[in-house]
Amino acid sequence: MASEVTSQDRRRFLQRLAILGGAWLTTPGLFAEELAAAAERGLIITPGMTEGPFYPDKMPLDTDNDLLILNDSITPAVGEVSYVSGRVLSASGQPLRSAFVEIWQCDTHGTYVHSRGRNPDGSHDPNFQGYGRFMTGSEGQYLFRTIKPVPYDLAGMYRAPHIHFAVSKNGQRLITTQMLLRGHPANERDNILRGVRDAKARESVLVDFKPLEGSKLGELSATFDIVLGETAQEDEEGRLRGGIAPSRRRRR
């Protein structure tokens, strides 16, 4: 069931962002301990996955990290409210600071913020931002408030629930990938996910959406760490793509 989002919830989100940011930025060794534990079990490089045809061709007026509220609107988007957070790390486990993390996804009707990404019946949620961006902190952390993704069938392609991610630094796209729901039955039909051949790499993009501790509104939380390879990743046409990181050919 979709949660009702109020202005008070918006304030709680901003407070949570401030609290989390403060902890990430000021608590000595907090992430160092987690990185050490990750190193012991071995970091898995996040696989690059297609940007897809529905990266916004016209950016929404609001591009912050809260996709539920457009600017100063009092009407929230419809969906299961979810906090998606994680870190951007190098292959050696070092955090990548001051990098732009972009996400984009369809609304509950299966419609993107794209001129060709509408549900065939034309339905869409005018209150869903559909796209957001966030600059990572000193320990590579990011945070978004959005909705739990849903499956859709657009342009003749069926997709399991997913959120697109891209990471850019200094105007260069470093990775484009996707986050999917662990255990969702539609995963078996998703050709994009099936295209990730390595089992461990495929597992690394599957996440759990769990009840948010302390929430009385049925909110969810998900954690998705992005581990970069040694080089930037190109799309199938050899280009580095994106809005913050403009399309270009990588110099070799």
Number of C-beta neighbours around residue 175 at 10 A: 22
What is the pLDDT, as a whole number, of residue 11? 59
Residues 6+ apart with CB under 8 A from 58: 113, 115
Kindly state the percentage of the chain with pLDDT values over 70.
75
Phi, psi of 146 (to 5 degrees): -150, -155
d(CA 166, CA 241): 9
d(CA 243, CA 166): 10
Segment 69-74 mean pLDDT: 84
Residue 154 located in a structural domain? yes
Reply yes or no on whether the pLDDT at 31 is more than 80: no
At residue 99, what is the residue type? A
Residue 177 located in a structural domain? yes
What's the gap between Cα 239 and its chain centre?
21
What is the pLDDT, as a whole number, of residue 156? 84
**Count of the separate structural domains present in the chain:** 1
Q: How much is the pTM?
A: 0.80
Residue 238 located in a structural domain? no
Q: Which range of residues forms the domain containing residue 221?
A: 7-228
Residue 159 located in a structural domain? yes
d(CA 229, CA 244): 20
d(CA 220, CA 163): 15
CATH number at residue 25: 2.60.130.10
187-211 pLDDT, tens digit per residue, is: 999 999 999 999 999 999 999 999 9
Q: Which pLDDT band holds residue 12 (cuts at 50, 70, 90)?
A: low
Number of C-beta neighbours around residue 245 at 10 A: 21
Angle formed at CA 199 by CA 197 and CA 203, multiple of 5 degrees = 115
Strand partners, 188: none
Segment 86-98 mean pLDDT: 92
